[in-house]
Structure 1
C-alpha cells in the first residue's frame, strides 16, 4: 500500500468522492448468494419499562441527555430483546415489538449483513483499488472518517443499512406491510433508507438502535408508501442542530479558551465528541453535514452515490433470507438450587463483543458499579471483563442491565470483534 500522509485533512465531500471512486466499478463481484436455510435459535426477554412509562430506564436516560428536544411520546420502544448466535458464530442482540413482525427481522437482517460482508471481502479488484490509493486520499479519510480503512467504512455502512431496517420494523404496525420481505421492499420503495442517511445524525441511529427505540412516526400515503410525519422531520432536524451546536461548543472551549490545537482538543475531549460526533465538531460553522454514502458524484458521465447500490443489494438478500430462515425460541433458566450461591471463578469472566471504545468501557463499568458489582478488569482489545459477581443470579441480572444499555455480554470469548462505528 502507498505510504500515508502525515497531514490528515477534514473534507466530507472529498472523502465521499474517494469512497465513490472505489465503489463505482463494483462493491460486489457477481451475484450475492444467500446461505442455505438453517434453524437459528434465540432467547427472548421482555423489556422492563419504568413505572407509568413505555420506556426503560436506559432509554429515558439517553433521551434526556442526548435527544433534545425529542419528547417521550415521540419515541417508540421495543417490547422484547432477543439474543442469538449468527451463522458466523458471533453473538448478537436485537429488539422487536410483540405487535409487529417479530424476531425474524433482526435475525434475517444480521444474516444479510454477513452475506454482503463476505462478498465485500471476496472482491479482489476492490482490494486492488484500495491498495492503489495515494497519500492524499488516505489523508482525507484519516481526517474525516471515524474508521479510516475503506473496507471497514464499507462494512459499517452495510451494517448501518441493516440497523435502519430492523429499527424501523418497530413501526411495522404503522405501515401496510405484513411480512418481513414486504416490509423491507416497502421501506426501500418509500425512500426511508435515504431519509435516515440525510435526516438522522450518526450516533443517534447507532445508539437508539442498541437500546431498542426509534424517534419516528410514519404516515401511509395514498400510493401505499410511507413517509415520516412533518413532526418527525422537524424533531430530527432540531436534534441534529442541537448536536452540531453541542459539538461546536466543545471545540470552541477547547481551542479558544484552553488554547488547544484541534488534534489536542479531540484527544482531550474524545469521550464527549464520541457521543456527539467528531464529524460535527470539525464541521465548518453554518454548514450542514452530508452523509458520505448518500452524496452524489459525477462518475463516467452519470450521477452516482453508494447508498442506492448497497440498499438494493441488501433488500434483495434480506427478502430471500427472511423467506427461508427458520427461527425458534429457546428458554434459558437458572438452576434455582445454585442461583443464589457464591459465584465461581468462571462466573467472574465474560466478554462484550460490541464494546468498541472508551465510552463503551465507561458505560459497562458504570452499569456494574451501579449494582454494587466491582469491576476487577476490563480490556477493550480482547473484549474481556472480570467482575466480582455475588451469585449466578446477580450475574444474570447484571447481564440484563448491560443489555438494557445496548451491549451484548456473552460467557465465551468472541471469535472475531465486530467493526467499530464509522461516520459514513
Structure 2
C-alpha cells in the first residue's frame, strides 16, 4: 500500500527512503518562514592562535590530507587540491571553542571567524521563528518516518542547522582560493560566490562526506576560474573530478549493500547495522539510493507551490551571505601567542574535558566516540551543541595520543582550558 506521495506504508528503512518527498517536507516547513529575528551583533575582538601546517616533504599536503586523498577521493589528484597554510583556534561569541583554516596569501583568519558568527546568528533566527516550531510539532508520523529513513539528522531543526553550517563550510573552504580571484574583501568574495552559483554547485556536485572531511582537514579539491564579467566558475576538469568522486562513493555504498543483502542474505536494517563502519550514517543514504538516481542536496530541489517554484537553498544562501557580509565588518581578529604546553602531571578532572570544534553532526559524534573507545578510553559525554567531550583518559600521554588519533581522522580537539584563545570581548 502506498500514500498519495508514492511512499510505501511499510515501515522498513528501504521503503520509507524517498529523497524528493523528504525535500518537499523540509520545503513545506521552511517556505512560510524559516528565520525569525535575533539581536544585532556588536563589534567584537576575537583573539586566536595560529599554527602553520607542516606539509610532507616534497608535497603541499599534510600527512592527514594525503591519506584522506588516497583512501577516499579517487580519482582526484594531489595537484587538484589546495591546502590551507594555517590552522587556527578561537572562542566564538557563544563561548564555544572553534578550529578553522586559512591561507596567509588569501583572506586570512577573518573568514572562519565571521563564518562561525553568521552560523550562530542564523541558528538563533530559526530558533526564534515560533511558527516554524509549531509546523514541526504538527508533522505527521509518515513525514517523520520519511525523514528518519532518508536524512542523516532526523529532526527538522537539526537538518536546518546543519544546512546552515554547510553553507558556512562552503564559504570557508572556497576562501582558500580567494587569493586567485580579483576579490580582496571577505564580503565581496562571499557575494561573488553567491552570485556565481558556487553554493549551488557545492550542493549538487559535491557529496556530504567530501565536504565535511576535506573541510576538517583544511583542503579543497576544486579550482576556480574567473570569467570576463567577474563570475566564478568550476573548470570542466573540476566538474569531471567531482562527478567521478561522487559516482565512486555511490558505487562503493551499493557494492557493500548488494553483498550484504544477496550473498549474505541480510535485511537492509541488518546490513546497515553490520556494515556501519563501511557505510556510516552518511553513505547509508547512498546505499539506499535507487541505481538510476543521482543524488543532489535536498535543499537544492525545486518544488512547485502556489503557482511558484520554491527551493530552500537560495533562501538560506541569501540570508547567510548577507549575515556574513555584515558580521565581517564587526569581527576583529587579533593573533595571540600559543600557551605553553602543560607539564606531565596526573590527569586532573579538568583534563578529562575537551572540545572538538569541527564536530558538526551526529555522524561526527559517533565517529569521535568510536575513535576514543577503540583506544579503550571510556566516553562519559559527547554534547553536539556545545562541542564538548568528556572522556576517562589514563594519563597525559594517553590523552595526547587520543588527540593525535582524532586529528588523523580530520578532527581538531582542543583543551577547553589551555589550548584555545580566550572568549571575545565586545566593545
1:287 aligns with 2:298: no
Give the whole-Å Cα distance in 2 for the aligned partners of 1:222 and 1:26: 37
Q: Equivalent of 1:58, from 55, 64, 83?
A: 64
Q: Contact conserved, 1:188 with 1:315, CA < 8 A, in 2?
A: yes
* Segment of structure 1 superposing worse, 345-354 or 308-317: 345-354
Q: What SS class does the counterpart of residue 101 from structure 2 fall into? A: strand
Aligned to 2:410: 406
Q: Equivalent of 1:278, from 271, 278, 284?
A: 284
Aligned to 1:378: 379
Q: Equivalent of 1:18, from 25, 44, 47?
A: 25
Q: What SS class does the counterpart of residue 120 from structure 1 fall into? A: helix
1:349 aligns with 2:357: no
Deviation, 1:275, is: 7.1
TM-score scaled by structure 2? Answer: 0.87
Trace 1:64-79 onto structure 2 (pairs within 5 A).
64-79=70-85
Q: Equivalent of 1:203, from 194, 201, 209?
A: 209
CA 1:364–1:205 in 2, change beyond 3 Å: closer, same or farther? farther
Q: What SS class does the counterpart of residue 244 from structure 2 fall into? A: helix
Trace 1:291-310 onto structure 2 (pairs within 5 A).
291-310=297-316
Residue correspondences, number? 397
Q: Deviations over 1:3-59 (max 9, x none)?
A: x995550000000000000111110135x6541111111111111211111111111
Q: Deviations over 1:190-226 (max 9, x none)?
A: 1000000000001100110011000001111001011
1:214 aligns with 2:217: no
TM-score scaled by structure 1? Answer: 0.88
Give the whole-Å Cα distance in 2 for the aligned partners of 1:54 and 1:289: 32
Q: What SS class does the counterpart of residue 376 from structure 1 fall into? A: coil
Q: Contact conserved, 1:15 with 1:144, CA < 8 A, in 2?
A: yes
Give the whole-Å Cα distance in 1 for the aligned partners of 2:351 and 2:120: 31
Q: Contact conserved, 1:218 with 1:227, CA < 8 A, in 2?
A: yes
1:90 aligns with 2:96: yes
Give the whole-Å Cα distance in 2 for the aligned partners of 1:380 and 1:61: 29
1:44 aligns with 2:50: yes
1:360 aligns with 2:363: no
CA 1:276–1:317 in 2, change beyond 3 Å: closer, same or farther? closer
Deviation, 1:399, is: 4.1
Q: Equivalent of 1:316, from 295, 319, 322?
A: 322
Give the whole-Å Cα distance in 2 for the aligned partners of 1:364 and 1:63: 23
Deviation, 1:357, is: 3.3
Aligned to 1:330: 336
Q: Deviations over 1:210-250 (max 9, x none)?
A: 11000001111001011011110000000000000000001
Deviation, 1:386, is: 2.8
Give the whole-Å Cα distance in 1 for the aligned partners of 2:24 and 2:118: 26
Q: Contact conserved, 2:372 with 2:379, CA < 8 A, in 1?
A: no
Q: Contact conserved, 1:271 with 1:359, CA < 8 A, in 2?
A: no
Q: Contact conserved, 2:50 with 2:87, CA < 8 A, in 1?
A: yes
Q: Contact conserved, 2:368 with 2:406, CA < 8 A, in 1?
A: no
Give the whole-Å Cα distance in 2 for the aligned partners of 1:135 and 1:219: 47
Q: What SS class does the counterpart of residue 298 from structure 1 fall into? A: strand
Q: Contact conserved, 1:350 with 1:412, CA < 8 A, in 2?
A: yes
Q: What SS class does the counterpart of residue 378 from structure 2 fall into? A: strand
1:122 aligns with 2:128: yes
Gaps of 5+ in 2: 1-8, 384-388, 418-427
Aligned to 2:195: 189
Q: What SS class does the counterpart of residue 45 from structure 1 fall into? A: strand
Give the whole-Å Cα distance in 2 for the aligned partners of 1:365 and 1:95: 28
Aligned to 1:422: none
Trace 1:168-183 onto structure 2 (pairs within 5 A).
168-183=174-189
Q: Deviations over 1:253-299 (max 9, x none)?
A: 11001111111111111121127611110001122112100000001
* Segment of structure 1 superposing worse, 151-160 or 4-13: 4-13
Q: Deviations over 1:72-118 (max 9, x none)?
A: 11100001001111111111100001111001001000000000000
